[in-house]
Amino acid sequence: MENQQQGQMHQNMHTGTVPPQMNHGGHEVFDLNEVLSAGVGTINQYVLLKEHVQDPELRDMMNRQHAFLVQEYNTTVECFKTGQNPQVPTQTYNMTQNNDFIYGLTPTQPKKPFQSASEINDEYISGCLLSAHKSGASLKTMSALEVTNPVVRRVLADSVPNCIEMAYELSIYQNKHHYYQVPQLAAQDMQALTNAYAPASTPGQMQMPMNNQMKH
């Protein structure tokens, strides 16, 4: 009986009628395991670091992001297991603060590694979470390019902007507290680089060669 089922599955793979839960390529399976493992690690960081937070604003941000990440993780697990649309589709994360950055450098003490766990602070915590979202955005983007299952591909692709939004929210928080400083180029250099490219002509605007042009 088992051999018959395996033979039928092998035949289905060749004819294209693969069951939804088996509709995954080998590379995809490895990538999704890496994505989900990283997702577990990120969620665990929120759980472990939350008790060390001092700033209520950061704690509130972590609570909102943590709840969102858990739901997104469950959505990804479900569609990966079933190969079908999840009960809760990928949601959109929206940060609550403005997007104003402070530009320029303010003198601060040089950073160095901790000597004990008692030195954990809000700068370190927000920086860890920012790094996790940056890594998540890259990993999910690369993995989505290898996915054959259309549902899983869409779930991964739709989750990338959420990584970007959460990372952006954390970077703004860090910037406001001078943890993440943003230097700028000199005005002349910035103007030269921002004006270094011109728009391309669209295909409809391109001039076609004249048919009656004669060679001399």
CATH code assigned at 153: 1.20.1260.10
Whether residue 140 is contained in a domain is answered as yes
What is the full DSSP assignment across 66-110?
HHHHHHHHHHHHHHHHHSS--SSPPP----SS--PPPBB----PP
Cα(214)–Cα(216) distance, rounded to whole angstroms? Answer: 6
Q: What is the residue range of 28's domain?
A: 19-97+118-178
The pLDDT of residue 98: 85
Which residues of the chain fall short of a pLDDT of 50? 2, 4-13, 15
Whether residue 165 is contained in a domain is answered as yes
The pLDDT of residue 15: 45
Whether residue 148 is contained in a domain is answered as yes
What phi, psi does 23 have (nearest 5°)?
A: -80, 65
Helices (H) and strands (E) counted in the chain, each on its own, are 6, 0
The pLDDT of residue 189: 95
Whether residue 190 is contained in a domain is answered as no
Whether residue 41 is contained in a domain is answered as yes
* pTM beyond 0.85: no
Task: For residue 103, list its beta bridge partners.
Answer: 182
Whether residue 2 is contained in a domain is answered as no
Domain count, the chain: 1
The pLDDT of residue 208: 59
C-alpha radius of gyration, the chain, whole number: 25
The pLDDT of residue 21: 67
Whether residue 13 is contained in a domain is answered as no
Whether residue 196 is contained in a domain is answered as no
The pLDDT of residue 216: 54
Closest listed residue to residue 76, CA positions, set 13, 9, 140: 140
The pLDDT of residue 4: 46
